[in-house]
Amino acid sequence: MFNVDRLKTTAALQLGEVYGILAIEVILAVLIGLGLTATGLDGAAWILGGIAAGAIAFSSYRIFGVDSLQPNRNARKAGQLLVGLTIGLSLQHNNLNILPSQFLIFLGLPLFLMLSGAAIGWVYSRLEKIDLLSGLLATTPGNIGVMASIAADYSKNTALVSLVQLTRFTTVIFVIPIIANAAVPRSTHNAVAAVIQKVVAVSWFDLCIACLLLAITLVVVYLGNKLKIPMAAFLCAIAVGLLFDAFLLVSPISIDFQLPALFNLIGQILLGVTIGEYWGLNPKLSFATIIRSLLPVVLMVITAFLAALLIQCLTGWNWLTCVLVTAPGGSPEMIWIALTLHQDTDVVTAAHVIRLLTINLSLPLLLALVPAIATEARQPE
């Protein structure tokens, strides 16, 4: 009995520590986000604030000798849920009717990015002198945790895969918002005051509707996880928002509802925090290691810009929309930037959702090639 009670106490203390750290990260992210908003970088100020806060918090803990910390994946899932619900509620059903005509582009884009990623992975494996599978996993534009776990399952270079994936994700999250804000300049006059006013100005009715929607979304996400839907927290939340919006269109009740700004702000912060935590776990990376990991990332970004140019030639979409569509990573973040800067959110959302599904569904094909890759690697030259 004593051991059971002690285990329960230890678990409670660990849980308290995890969420205590998260609270500190959120407070730091709010302060950093307000500073970035004041400079005019409001398109992704809270996501970037979350990244900085996560890195600072985890690095500080490691300095004091706490090495048992792990990135809070539940926090990122909560962020995906909140941002996904906001996106679903913001999509215009009238605009969705034009998307089927562009389906070939939406399907061709992830295939192009995957093939180019495979080519970059092959080049990178030769330059870095690593096995081909590690190179492919490092340069496939997918989820960081998924690619790293596959590398671990097959006893590949997990550290290198994680580093390249993390560098890719962070580079996209930093570079694309800067391009977006340069393309669509925003007024910085009273920007901080406007954000605070939006957060505070929420009615009890909207708050009750938001809590009801969140409860429904949690149930749908739970079912989505049971059905093995990739990124269920994000995709299922978008679906709930779309269905709720469709219900309002046919309902006799006239309600103009959007998720309160406080929920959006917290969602963006939580998206960034986990990425910062990953960087905080790797404070001793050498400069040369980071530079080498940038090589495949730069190639992937260049490929994405070339794809954006091609798509702009084939469609009537503006340049910024094409960049957000082809950005190699950060689907929730790219869609959110499109929503914030009033770009073609429907187009960006459809492109990223189809890309997420295509990449995740094609992973079994990549893993099916593992025996052939291993056999090739063992053959004498």
Contact by Cβ (8 Å): 106, 358:
no
What type of residue is 83? V
Contact by Cβ (8 Å): 184, 62:
no
Q: DSSP class of residue 228?
A: T
Q: What is the pLDDT of residue 190?
A: 72
Largest Cα–Cα separation, the chain: 73
Per-residue burial over 321-338, b if 16 or more Cβ lie within 10 Å, else e, is bbbbbbbbbbbbbbbbbb
**Tokens 């990623």 map to which residue?**
117
Q: What is the pLDDT of residue 372?
A: 61
Residue 44: name the closest of 213, 170, 226 by CA. Answer: 170
Q: What is the pLDDT of residue 217?
A: 95
Domain 2-376 of CATH type 3.40.1000: no
Per-position pLDDT tens, the chain of length 381: 445 555 555 556 566 677 788 889 999 999 998 888 887 666 678 888 888 898 898 888 877 766 667 788 888 889 889 988 988 887 765 555 666 777 788 888 888 888 898 899 888 888 888 888 888 888 888 777 677 777 777 777 777 888 888 888 888 888 887 777 666 655 555 777 878 888 887 788 888 999 999 999 999 999 999 988 877 888 899 889 888 888 887 777 777 778 888 888 898 898 888 888 888 876 566 677 778 888 899 999 999 999 999 999 988 888 888 998 998 877 787 887 888 777 788 888 888 888 888 887 777 776 676 556 555 555 544
Cα separation of 180 and 177, whole Å?
A: 5
E strands present in 155-218: none
Q: Please indicate, yes or no, whether the overall pTM of this predicted structure exceeds 0.95.
A: no
Tell me the two tokens of residue 94.
């009238």
Q: What is the pLDDT of residue 381?
A: 43
What type of residue is 356? L
Cα(first)–Cα(last) distance of the chain, in Å? 63
Tell me the two tokens of residue 196.
């605070």
Q: What is the pLDDT of residue 245?
A: 83
